[in-house]
Amino acid sequence: MRVTKAQAEQNRAHIVATAARLFRERGYDGVGVTELMAGAGFTHGGFYKNFPSKAALMAEASANGLSRTASLAEALDVAEFVESYVSREHRDGRSDGCTIAALSGDAARQPEEFKAEFAVGIESLTAALQAGGDAAPDADRLTARTTVIDALAHSVGAIVLSRACPDDSPLADEILDVCREAILTSLARADSSRSAAERPAS
């Protein structure tokens, strides 16, 4: 039976979403094309009707995952994002978690054009968090951006370090607890300093 254009587009989107989950869980080299297609419910032969190469799917799946994280962050301020991100739920839910935390190490070994996709995704997430209400409308944008990048880098690092430890390791949980508290304290200090600077002189 002939597949309609709409169905073909749905199938392709399903393959991309499945690949994004599997890549986050196992890394780019941890899953092959045959397994990717089987995970999406298709045969290996259909892969090249949709993608010129595995590298092309890697780039599209990564862009998909990065966009998803940025969209989720739009509804949060930076502190809310940190509370959700630097958590056991996120650490343990690797396949459904953030592409940046799961695949930045892999992406760093990819060609420049691939890394450019990650740069776009990181920039989009930074912008989403910057617009999420943590900074007042008239706050200095450079200062707000610095605060967001600092919090994001520390949050990603906390997840990466925690995941590197055995699942039942007390250190894995300690890393999350210590880092989350430190990031939130830093954010509160920055917010307090900003409020003081904006307060009219008496």
Token pair, residue 190, equals 């920055």
Question: What is the C-alpha to C-alpha distance for residues 114 and 183, in angstroms, rounded to an integer?
Answer: 30
Confidence class of residue 79 from pLDDT cuts 50, 70 and 90? Answer: very high
Question: What is the C-alpha to C-alpha distance for residues 130 and 147, in angstroms, rounded to an integer?
Answer: 9
Question: Which residues have a Cβ under 8 Å from the Cβ of 138 and sit 6 or more positions away?
Answer: 198
pLDDT in tens, 7-25: 889 999 999 999 999 999 9
Question: What is the C-alpha to C-alpha distance for residues 17 and 63, in angstroms, rounded to an integer?
Answer: 10
The arithmetic mean of pLDDT across residues 32-43, rounded, is 94
pLDDT in tens, 120-148: 999 999 999 998 754 444 457 778 899 99
Residue 93 identity (one-letter amino acid): G
Which domains does the chain show, CATH number per domain? 5-197 (1.10.357.10)
In this predicted structure, what is the pLDDT of residue 116?
A: 94
